[in-house]
Amino acid sequence: MNLVIDIGNSLTKLAVFDQNRLVDSVQLEDFDQKVILRLKNQYPELDKAILSSVTKHDSTLFQLLQKEFSYFLELSTTTPVPIKNNYRSKATLGLDRIAAAVGAAGLFPEKDLLIIDAGTAITYDIVDKKKGFMGGNISPGLKTRFRALHQFTGRLPLLTPTDNWPDIGTTTEEAIQSGVLTGILSEVESVIDKMKSKWPELTIIVTGGDAEFFDKKLKSSIFVKFQITLLGLNRILEYNVKNN
């Protein structure tokens, strides 16, 4: 069995896989290494682990994983993956982006894919039907846009997303909601249309913490897959175990 650890900007996600089948998952704001030991006790057959982190982590975590697992892999920009990476600046490619691309390619083989990861940032990435990672775009995420308006202006309040907002705001709060939410949906639809002009049979996958916001609000047909990055990390782990 495999343990997958994904340390993001604000949350840490852990998942247990039995080969390619997701068995258990947990999402934490405050990551405690004791969680790993609890999962190890709960699932004695856990023997392989992969760690992906967008932030610096304590060296004791690395030592714990090396000690407790017979095979441990820390994902880096040089880790072999089961898709072709065509990104020109591979050393700067976010690990979460390549993991989500691998997960999507595994779920939708031989399809042209657009993966939209809606979190602190929104990333748009293309994987073509030949399993080639073609690159993509990065823009501010939903909550980031609200925080930016509040932090970089003198009087605008800090708001959070809502499912209902007017086309034209008649209060400052409504104007912010309408501007941010209408704007972000327009951006996403515009990116989808532009990508479809190059890959007409594009399959669109939305993931990330704000994925639910976009579900049923976009005109384009989409698949919402919350666990796609974890699935990708597990595939990368299995690929490296097989080819080690």
Q: What is the mean pLDDT of the chain?
A: 94
Q: Cα dist. 86→89, 97, 126 in Å?
A: 9, 13, 10
* Model confidence at 195: pLDDT above 80: yes
H or E, element range at 105 = helix 95-107
Which whole number is the average pLDDT over 87-98?
94
Angle at 87 between CA 81 and CA 90, to 5 degrees: 70
Q: What pLDDT sits at residue 32? A: 82
Q: How far apart are CA 31 and CA 205, in angstroms?
A: 28
Q: Which CATH superfamily is domain 2-74 in?
A: ATPase, nucleotide binding domain (3.30.420.40)
Half-sphere exposure of 145 (CA within 13 A, CB side): 22
Fold category of 100-231 in CATH: Nucleotidyltransferase; domain 5 (3.30.420)
In whole angstroms, give the CA distance from residue 31 to residue 60.
Answer: 13
Q: Across the strands, what pairs with 74?
A: 51
Tell whether the model's pLDDT for residue 89 goes beyond 80.
yes
94 is in an annotated binding site: yes
Q: List phi, psi (to 5°) of 37.
A: -65, -35
Domain boundaries, given as residue ranges, for the chain = 2-74, 100-231
Tokens of 218: 């976009």
Q: 64 vs 60, 128, 215, 225, CA distance in Å?
A: 6, 38, 39, 30
Amino acid letter for position 30: D
Rounded mean pLDDT, 199-223: 93
12 assigned to a ligand binding site: yes
- Residue 119 annotated in ligand binding: no
pTM for the complete prediction? 0.91
Residue 5 has pLDDT above 90, yes or no: yes
Mean pLDDT computed over 164-176: 96
In the block, which residue shows the tokens 């405690």?
A: 32
Residue 106 has pLDDT above 80, yes or no: yes
Q: CA-to-CA distance for 17 and 223, rounded, in angstroms?
A: 22
Known binder of ligand: residue 172? yes
> 151: burial class by Cβ within 10 Å (0-12, 13-18, 19+)?
exposed
In the annotation, is 96 catalytic? yes
13 is in an annotated binding site: yes
Whether residue 14 is annotated as binding a ligand: the answer is no
The catalytic position among 30, 32, 58, 96 is 96
Q: Does the annotation list 97 as a binding residue?
A: yes
Question: Is residue 154 scored above 90 in pLDDT?
Answer: no
Q: Confirm or deny that 79 is annotated as ligand binding.
A: no
The secondary structure of the chain in percent helix, strand, coil, rounded to multiples of 5, reads 40, 25, 35
Residue 32 assigned to a binding site: no
Predicted local confidence at residue 45, as pLDDT? 95
For residues 84 and 132, the answer to whether their CB atoms sit within 8 Å is yes
28-42, 83-97, 156-170, 183-197: which range is least confident on average?
Answer: 28-42
**Using CA atoms, how far apart are residues 83 and 93, in angstroms rounded to an integer?**
14
Domain 2-74 identical in fold to domain 100-231: yes
pLDDT at residue 217 greater than cutoff 80: yes
pLDDT at 11: 83
